[in-house]
Amino acid sequence: MPVIRLNPWTGILAMLLILPLGLACADTELDTREHVVKVVTVTDGLEHPWSMAFLPGGDVLITERPGRLRILRDGQLLPEPVPGLPEVRAYRQGGLLDLALHPDFEDNRLLYFSYAGNHADGITTHVARGRFEDDALHDVQVLFVAEPASDNGRHFGSRLVFDNEGYLYITVGDRGDMPRAQNLDDHAGSTIRLHDDGRVPEDNPFVGRSDARPEIYTYGNRNAQGMALHPVTGEVWQNEHGPRGGDELNRIRAGVNYGWPVISHGIDYSGRDIGEGISEQEGMEQPVHHWTPSIAPSGMAFYTGDVFPAWRGNLFVGALAHTHVTRLVMDGNRVVDEEPMLREMSQRIRDVRQGPDGHLYLLTDHNNGRLLRLEPAD
């Protein structure tokens, strides 16, 4: 069990440190198996932050689910949100969600973002891009709209990743309507692959089929809210929420059916079986790793820095339900060990990123959300 190490404080500060980090501003030292880390609050005052992006020059952009894009500059959260966003529908799990910089951001200043928006008498996942200059968004273009829309407020997916060839990957949840994830004529429950300008790549696996949407790259996905590029292989990896148990970690490969809801390692919230009540079926992919009970995985990052040398090559996944960060030790494409970390903080970890400085950064999904930085304590 990790042990909290507290620096010597007095009076009220000492009392505050026994509270969850969400209620206290003081830095906290925590033991992990490989490193003693100091958890530093970079900023607070964020309303349900969802994603972050590190800009050249040191600024950090942070999304707030209610529909605001914020700038962190020189350690200070600027009071005014970034202007120029399209209309965002902040409804239940929807709102302003992920961020991704174009691979040539330093030259073209293109910022990509996902959000829930109104469409065809419903609400659905949108992806747009705009030119970020002078602390504002300009020339915003909507590149993708998941269809058909729904009046449901669940499972928007919405993680964004560029691969090494410049393709944009987008996750779309099943919108709380399970059978949609097996329908290739429906964007729900899939991973989308596009060119950076929204065009469909000619080699997408279902291009040319009359019964399938050409943007779809994988299907049978429930609600993927974590996605990262493997630093060695260049493959896209993804985690997705299961129901009661059966959260998954997957390698994303063209045309693969990941099985939801026909197969699952979890059960329904009612306690009943999911789909056919089986966890394997021919033609449907098994996860690299799964969690039962569910941890509700969200943002994730492979660690490649030098600040924490014993963590190099590990995969870090934020957990919403179990309020921790889980460290996965990898051997090739296998998970060989797992360490739940930072449970003492009791924080919903929405996003995990490696910063340009080699530290790990976390976003906590709360009314008073925080940006946290993990530093070596020794």
Q: Which residues are marked as active site? A: 155
* DSSP, residue by residue, 284-328: SPPPSEEESS---EEEEEE---SSSGGGTT-EEEEETTTTEEEEE
Vertex 94, ends 93 and 97: CA angle to 5°?
Answer: 110
Three-class SS state of 141: strand
* Host H or E run for residue 16: helix 11-16
The helix/strand count (H/E) of the chain reads as: 2, 26
Distance CA 189, CA 222 (A): 5
CA proximity to 143, closest of 167, 175, 121: 167
Contacts of 213 (CB under 8 A, 6+ apart): 147, 184, 185, 186, 187, 206
User: Side chain identity at 139, as an amino acid letter?
Assistant: D
178: alpha, beta or left? (left if phi > 0; alpha if psi -120 to 50): alpha
Three-class SS state of 343: helix
Total count of residues recorded for the chain: 378
Distance CA 316, CA 326 (A): 6
> Do 218 and 258 meet the contact criterion of CB atoms below 8 Å apart?
yes
DSSP state, 248? E
* DSSP, residue by residue, 81-108: PPS--------TT-SEEEEEE-TTHHHH
* Host H or E run for residue 14: helix 11-16
Distance CA 343, CA 2 (A): 9
Distance CA 58, CA 339 (A): 31
Phi, psi (5° rounding) for residue 130?
A: -150, 165
